[in-house]
């Protein structure tokens, strides 16, 4: 994909366009590499215009919804990623619902409940958009999308808008025609529901929510169930009986709460998760001769090939020996020269809280030391008492300068009761950062405070910058309840057991409409606008 392509797309008035965007912000695993271009088409007409350009210029692309069933590699995707959040219109005609592909499924469940429409209760805990749920025929509690879908409107490979009836969709267990034919792009669907009492619907949804909280690791990023259930036994039981609960590769772990969940518990990479999925599949195959089939869609993994080990050649050519000797000689001469050279300047990166001059002062680099003798070890020995700085790496450049790469300890919030900032390890420091949220009241219970620090430490940087105030606000039901004031004027209720859900706020906020209000993430997932 060329810079010219990117410029063309930016000038096409398609909707929001982001360049070199980190896709980990948009997946429930919280992993994934960058996309050259991420586009949020404003409507289906803009989507068609975008697809036409992609086809004419032979660009790579893929479509994503809520990112809840995707495993995107860490490699840069050299093409266009299309996110359908703006395709979110919904209309209710008696017991039939027209809904566009980008509408959140959980939000649709609440809307239908408000209109006394049932049979969608099974989906109240599925964090997908409508299009993604139809594609994978998502389901739970012995119901699935195929039970309620009447028709689906798509864009086909020839860029025609066509409507497929239910019989055309080839629904089977966690499968549909859309997995068979990737050229289809879902833009809307017609669902048929049944009239039910609202209180009955909400009661079912609440009971299932409690069941999920008790049985699923919702406090960690995941993509839900990893494997489809084979006929022999549930995948979770097979994995557990194989002794794989708690097994880790890198930062990825088989959940100890539910073995069919793989969680990102410690800054896992896409590769960690991919390797763990493959490992679990191989162990179950080895023990039970059952081939587990993943529900996760793999994106941008063509490059991921395990290289075969090559035998070393016994004979080394004379030319190679000569070349090595020449290189060694040049390196010796270079070292002798650099020992007398002073550093010429600095490239400083990674520092948020201290400016460049402050970094130079506390490290002693402002004295312009020897280019050869100064290294990461000598610099880090001078910053042992600096709580805000975790580590500094020094890299030397060919132009005689230092790359100073700073790793900071994150400031979580400013504690107004102690008039100090709280950093990653819970330490208090005499430093005020104007963009950090403020804890306005005291958390008296030490256990709750300690647990809060751990949870708040998992809030990603972008979300953290959108929180202005934190208030500890327990009630009779939950002693671990907090009220967050957001910079956009909204308020968010969140409890400790669901604290990780705040990392989805930026995505959720795009669906809330123009009015400010209160987002409840403590006992549900719904929004109440201010009057």
Tell me which residues are annotated as active site. Answer: 174, 225, 295
User: How far apart, in whole angstroms, are the C-alpha atoms of residue 476 and residue 480?
Assistant: 10
In terms of C-beta distances under 8 Å and separation of at least 24 residues, what long-range contacts does 352-359 make, across chains too? Answer: 352/408, 353/388, 353/408, 353/411, 353/431, 353/433, 354/388, 354/389, 354/406, 359/392, 359/404, 359/406
What angle separates helix 44-56 from helix 3-10, to the nearest 10 degrees? Answer: 160
Using left for φ > 0, alpha for ψ between -120 and 50, and beta otherwise, residue 419 falls in: left
User: How far apart, in whole angstroms, are the C-alpha atoms of residue 247 and residue 239?
Assistant: 10
Structure tokens at 353: 């809280």
CB burial of 433-442 (b: ≥16 within 10 Å; e: otherwise) equals: eeebbbbbee
Structure tokens at 275: 């390797």
- Residue in 237, 222, 322, 313 with CA at minimum distance from that of residue 276: 222
Query: Rg for the chain (alpha carbons), in Å?
Result: 27
User: How far apart, in whole angstroms, are the C-alpha atoms of residue 18 and residue 184?
Assistant: 24
User: How far apart, in whole angstroms, are the C-alpha atoms of residue 251 and residue 268?
Assistant: 4
Q: Residue 115: which residues within 8 A CB-CB, separation 6 or more?
A: 92
Structure tokens at 395: 């890299």
- Residue in 121, 102, 99 with CA at minimum distance from that of residue 110: 121
Structure tokens at 219: 């406090």
User: How far apart, in whole angstroms, are the C-alpha atoms of residue 382 and residue 365?
Assistant: 10
């Amino acid at each position: 994909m060329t810079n010219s392509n990117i410029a063309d797309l930016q000038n096409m008035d398609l909707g929001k366009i982001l360049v070199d965007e980190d896709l980990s912000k948009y997946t429930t695993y919280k992993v994934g590499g960058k996309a050259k271009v991420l586009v949020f088409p404003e409507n289906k007409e803009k989507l068609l215009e975008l697809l036409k350009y992609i086809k004419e210029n032979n660009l790579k692309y893929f479509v994503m919804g809520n990112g809840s069933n995707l495993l995107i590699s860490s490699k840069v995707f050299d093409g266009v990623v299309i996110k359908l959040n703006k395709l979110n219109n919904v209309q209710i005609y008696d017991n039939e619902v027209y809904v566009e592909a980008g509408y959140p499924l959980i939000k649709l469940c609440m809307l239908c409940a408000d209109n006394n429409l049932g049979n969608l209760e099974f989906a109240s805990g599925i964090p997908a958009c409508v299009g993604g749920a139809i594609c994978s025929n998502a389901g739970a509690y012995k119901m699935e999308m195929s039970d309620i879908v009447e028709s689906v409107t798509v864009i086909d490979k020839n860029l025609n808008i066509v409507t497929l009836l239910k019989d055309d969709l080839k629904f089977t267990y966690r499968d549909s025609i859309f997995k068979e034919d990737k050229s289809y792009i879902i833009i809307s669907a017609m669902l048929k529901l049944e009239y039910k009492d609202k209180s009955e619907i909400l009661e079912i949804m609440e009971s299932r929510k409690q069941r999920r909280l008790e049985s699923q690791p919702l406090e960690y990023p995941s993509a839900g169930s990893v494997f489809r259930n084979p006929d022999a036994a549930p995948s979770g039981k097979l994995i557990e009986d194989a002794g794989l609960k708690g097994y880790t590769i890198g930062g990825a772990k088989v959940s100890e709460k539910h073995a069919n969940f793989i969680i990102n518990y410690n800054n896992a990479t896409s590769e960690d998760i991919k390797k763990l999925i493959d490992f679990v599949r191989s162990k179950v195959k080895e023990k039970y001769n059952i081939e587990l089939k993943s529900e996760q869609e793999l994106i941008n993994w063509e490059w991921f090939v395990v290289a075969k080990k090559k035998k070393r050649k016994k004979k080394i050519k004379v030319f190679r020996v000569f070349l090595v000797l020449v290189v060694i000689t040049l390196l010796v001469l270079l070292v002798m020269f650099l020992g007398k050279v002073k550093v010429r300047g600095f490239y400083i990166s990674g520092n948020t809280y201290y400016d460049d001059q402050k970094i130079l002062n506390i490290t002693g680099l402002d004295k312009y030391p020897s280019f050869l003798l100064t290294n990461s070890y000598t610099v880090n020995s001078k910053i042992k008492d600096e709580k805000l700085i975790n580590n500094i790496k020094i890299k030397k450049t060919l132009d005689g300068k230092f790359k100073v790469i700073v790793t900071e300890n994150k400031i979580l919030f400013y504690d107004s009761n102690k008039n100090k900032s709280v950093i990653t390890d819970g330490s208090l420091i005499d430093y005020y950062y104007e963009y950090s949220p403020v804890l306005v009241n005291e958390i008296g219970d030490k256990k709750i405070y300690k647990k809060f620090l751990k949870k708040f430490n998992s809030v990603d940087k972008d979300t953290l910058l959108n929180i202005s105030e934190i208030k500890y606000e327990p009630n009779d039901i939950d002693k671990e309840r907090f009220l967050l004031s957001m910079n956009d004027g909204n308020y968010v209720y969140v409890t400790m057991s669901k604290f990780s859900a705040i990392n989805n706020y930026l995505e959720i906020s795009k669906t809330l409409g123009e009015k400010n209000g209160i987002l409840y993430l403590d006992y549900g997932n719904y929004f109440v606008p201010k009057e």
